[in-house]
Structure 1
Amino acid sequence: MAQIRVKICGLVTEADIAAVAAAGAAYAGFNFFPKSPRYAAPPLARALALAAPEGLCKVGLVVDADNATLDAITAEVPLDMLQLHGRETPARVTEIRARYGLPVMKAIGVAEPGDLAPLLDYALVSDQILIDAKAPKDAVLPGGNGLTFDWRLVAQRRWIRPWMLAGGLTPENVAEAIRLTGARQVDVASGVESAPGVKDAAKIAAFTSAATGAGAGAQQGIPILR
């Protein structure tokens, strides 16, 4: 059976952590972008991280954060991975990875075939890449906008690093997205909420169950590629 790893991003309460753990997700994401409705200040994120069960990977999402900001976050919050969701260059990704000694996931926004070109450059310097729907030019948030992109652009593609699919995923469409793209990892924020920033435990459970079920389909001849 192909195992699908699920990331639930934008957690802000201990109930969120409990729901993510109960659902069997692999990653718990804390959003350190102050403009986001899912923003978790470092003291809150620390409490949530400490409440997370062993084995749940704690990911810190930042957007074009400078070293002072990253120093403060990493000093206070016990993270397992950093997610860079801004316009960080490959050189900046390399610098952050070396400075903090944490695995780094770089998010890349995709809307058209030309947006795939940077993926190789970032894969060379990151531990993972996250392929997200490209935010509109006037968007306040670089991600978490509930938008999808044409999944055919990445259907059954391979890169040299593990990759994660994001962008408008919901309990209703995640199985289709996995089957079409071959993704082994999926990320969701707004798709499991009852309101912006308010996670719904039932939706978290449904999303994780649907993703896992899609992975089980690989035994029936549906290819799931890394």
Structure 2
Amino acid sequence: MPVPVKICGLTRPEAVAAAVAGGAAFVGFVFYPRSPRAVMPEVAGQLAAAVPKGVTKVGLFVDADDATIARVLAAVPLDLLQLHGHETPERVAAIRARFGVPVMKVLPVAEPGDVEAADRYAPAVDRLMFDSRPPRRPDALPGGNGLPFDWRLMAGRRWPVPWMLAGGLTPENVAEAVRLTGAEAVDVSSGVEDAPGVKNVGKIAAFLAAARAA
């Protein structure tokens, strides 16, 4: 069975079309102003209108307040909220209850204890995502930095909710990442770009093909 793929950080119609045509199970829109992949809610709403039923529309938020999330949801019919900041399990549960939309919490990973932190979040989420811990520099983003972590940290791990692997994935390494981690789904952003925020439709197609063959 093919590994479901999320193409994140979509900003242009041609990239959305390539993701859908290639069989992506998830498409992601970023609502974090500091990101080069950020889109305004109105733009994301237009992009989301081209996404067929059955493809999950994901909104990425970083420590967003309720007003911000509500403003986005008023413009974009999101199916999943991706929380990519320092949200506590309590905050995650509150967002899930407040908006009635499934939630995925992203956990940054650099060492075994980071993976074990997922146990605290599992009761409060519908999905988990494991991404590389951001580099220690002022301009580092919470995600989309193109850096993998030690995939062996994920070997044999299981949780009561589905989980997704992110961080430095490319068409060239996604099959190996799935083999080493047993990932149930994968997420890519920078690995299918020509520059931050500029998706390459050929790379999107190649990644989706590589994931199907994983």
TM class, shorter-length:
over 0.9
| Residue of structure 1 equivalent to 2:191 | 191
Displacement of 1:195 after TM fit?
1.1
- Asked if residue 209 in structure 1 is aligned to residue 209 in structure 2, the reply is yes
Residues 12-21 or 112-121, more deviating: 112-121
Asked if the contact 1:31–1:60 (Cα under 8 Å) also holds between the matched residues in 2, the reply is: yes
Whether contact under 8 Å (1:105, 1:127) holds in the other structure is yes
Q: How does 1:3-152 map to 2 (within 5 A)?
A: 3-138=2-137, 139-152=139-152
Contact 1:169 1:191 in 2 (8 A): yes
Shift of 1:166: 0.2
Separation of aligned partners in 1, 2:159 and 2:168 = 22
Which digits, 9 at most, give the CA deviation of each residue in 1:73-122, with x for residues without a partner? 11111111100000000000000000111110000000011212210111
Distance 1:107 1:137 in 2: 18
Task: Give the drift of 1:137.
Answer: 2.9
Structure 2: distance between partners of 1:133 and 1:198: 21
TM-score normalised by structure 1 residue count: 0.92
Please give the root-mean-square deviation of Cα atoms over the aligned residues, in Å: 0.9
Q: Would you identify which runs of 4 or more consecutive aligned residues in structure 1 move more than 3 Å?
A: none
Q: Which residue of 2 aligns with 1:161?
A: 161
CA contact (8 A) 1:3 1:184 kept: no
Instruction: Measure the CA separation in 1 of the matches of 2:23 and 2:116.
Output: 33
State the SS of the aligned residue for 2:5. Answer: strand
Partner SS state of residue 210, structure 2 = helix
What letter matches 2:101 in structure 1? L
Contact 1:43–1:77 (8 Å) recurs in 2: yes
Offset at 1:140?
3.0
C-alpha separation between the residues in 1 aligned to 2:2 and 2:170? 18
Identity among equivalent positions (%) equals: 60
Aligned residues: 213
Amino acid of the residue matched to residue 150 of structure 2? D
- Residues 136-172 of structure 1 deviation map (CA, whole Å, 9 limit, x = unaligned): 2324310000000000000131111100000000000
